[in-house]
Amino acid sequence: MSKADAPRHDPIPIGEIAAPPFARLPDPTSLFATRSLRFRTLAEGHRLGPYLLFLAALSECQHRIQKDLPEPDLPDADARARAHAHAMPPLDRSRFTADAALDATVDRLFALAATIDMPDDAHAALERARAATAAGRNAMVRSVLADSIPVETLADHVYVAAALQVQFARLAARLDADALVPIGNGACPACGGAPVASTIVGWQGSHGTRFCTCSLCATQWHVVRIKCILCDSTAGISYQELDGGPETVKAETCESCRGYVKILHQHKDPRLEPVADDIASLGLDILLREDGYRRGAVNPFLLGY
């Protein structure tokens, strides 16, 4: 693993002034299909190939089940206005309750996921999740949203987390991006979720700026570069990467809090996808953990890591 102690901004193309919006909402109709394709591409020759292919298939399920799903219950206008006034996320995870859309999403995802080629242990976990009572399912939903999942049922919760990604991406897509405001370090302005990674983007008008991507709803929000996403420190920031690995995937480490979040240089490789490339670069997490750094990102498909 190599380390660079003096990070520098990449140059902005001549004639382009970066004026990024604060937030960019997800497009659930393309989000999971794009992720599935990226998983399949990354699986080729990868030591985690079988798992990446499983996640490609699960992401395809997330994409396919959306047709004709019921509309999710968005918080009313007054609740969203109060959230804005008090710098709170309009999609309050702590107060979330299941609706017809979530019930249909879970049922469809479980049924379609059962057709995926997967190891026996993964299939057994799916069957346990499918067999859960209504109370048991609600408890699993609460555990995922609270980022507090029992170790002994981590595999079962993967499928519930996948369904919640669909539900919250569909909810976030219906928000007003201009009404979202910063709510705290490392917190999604739409749902309060933790980031899965940050990305240097190449979008027109935002080239070279950084956005975090929510691990739950996939909303992206603008954050200043060379600044710790977790504690807001600008001191002791460095970038580490795997020797021989892609130069487009690094970890931004902070000596103030000893935490890190990965940073993807999507402006150099537009194929990079936060959830997929985070998992494919697991070797970097292992080395950073050995060096005593704390992973500050959340990825529902790395539960238990």
Q: Give the pLDDT confidence of 102-146 residue by residue, as tens digits.
A: 999 999 999 999 999 999 999 999 999 999 999 999 999 999 999
Instruction: Pull the structure tokens for residue 132.
Output: 């859960």
Q: What is the pLDDT of residue 243?
A: 87
Q: For the ranges 134-138, 245-249, 266-270, which has the lowest average pLDDT?
A: 245-249
Question: What's the mean pLDDT in 258-284?
Answer: 97
Label residue 10 by pLDDT band (50, 70, 90).
low
> Which of 122, 157, 176 is the endpoint of a domain?
176
Closest to 249 in 3D by CA, of 288, 277, 230, 221:
277
Asked if residue 244 and residue 150 are part of one domain, the reply reads no
Q: How far is CA 2 from the centre of its chain?
A: 25
Asked if residue 242 and residue 103 are part of one domain, the reply reads no
> Which of 119, 147, 176 is the endpoint of a domain?
176
Question: What's the mean pLDDT in 93-98?
Answer: 91
Closest to 92 in 3D by CA, of 111, 76, 107:
76
- Whole-angstrom Cα distance, residue 201 to residue 261? 16
Question: What's the mean pLDDT in 237-263?
Answer: 95
Q: Is-contact 214 188, C-beta < 8 A?
A: yes
Asked if residue 47 and residue 15 are part of one domain, the reply reads no
**Is 6 a residue whose pLDDT tops 50?**
no
**Is 14 a residue whose pLDDT tops 60?**
no
Closest to 167 in 3D by CA, of 31, 2, 8, 18:
31
Pairwise pLDDT comparison (5 vs 200), residue with the higher score: 200
176, burial (CB in 10 Å: exposed 0-12, middle 13-18, buried 19+): exposed
Q: What is the pLDDT of residue 111?
A: 98
Asked if residue 298 and residue 192 are part of one domain, the reply reads yes
Asked if residue 167 and residue 266 are part of one domain, the reply reads no
Asked if residue 243 and residue 118 are part of one domain, the reply reads no
Instruction: Pull the structure tokens for residue 216.
Output: 């739950």
Q: What is the pLDDT of residue 16?
A: 56
Asked if residue 64 and residue 31 are part of one domain, the reply reads yes
> Which of 176, 205, 239 is the endpoint of a domain?
176
**Is 201 a residue whose pLDDT tops 80?**
yes
Asked if residue 198 and residue 127 are part of one domain, the reply reads no
Sign (positive/negative) of CA torsion 67, 70, 72, 77? Answer: positive
Tell me the backbone φ, ψ of residue 86, rounded to 5 degrees: -105, 15
Question: What's the mean pLDDT in 172-195?
Answer: 96
Asked if residue 51 and residue 139 are part of one domain, the reply reads yes
- Degrees (nearest 5) of the Cα angle 181, 186, 188? 45
Q: What is the CATH number of the domain that holds 9?
A: 3.90.1670.10
The answer to whether the pTM exceeds 0.85 is yes
Looking at residue 236, the DSSP 8-state letter turns out to be S
**Is 3 a residue whose pLDDT tops 90?**
no
How many structural domains are present in the chain? 2
Asked if residue 268 and residue 214 are part of one domain, the reply reads yes
- Whole-angstrom Cα distance, residue 140 to residue 160? 7
Asked if residue 151 and residue 35 are part of one domain, the reply reads yes
Instruction: Pull the structure tokens for residue 302.
Output: 């790395």
Residue 146 amino acid letter: A
For residues 160, 278, 123, 72, the Cα torsion angle rounded to the nearest 10 degrees is: 20
Label residue 205 by pLDDT band (50, 70, 90).
confident
Label residue 11 by pLDDT band (50, 70, 90).
low
Label residue 155 by pLDDT band (50, 70, 90).
very high
- Whole-angstrom Cα distance, residue 124 to residue 47? 24
Which range of residues forms the domain containing residue 120? 27-176
Tell me the backbone φ, ψ of residue 221, rounded to 5 degrees: -135, 145
Label residue 2 by pLDDT band (50, 70, 90).
low
Asked if residue 51 and residue 19 are part of one domain, the reply reads no
Q: Is-contact 42 50, C-beta < 8 A?
A: no
Per-residue pLDDT reduced to its tens digit, 144-154: 999 899 889 99
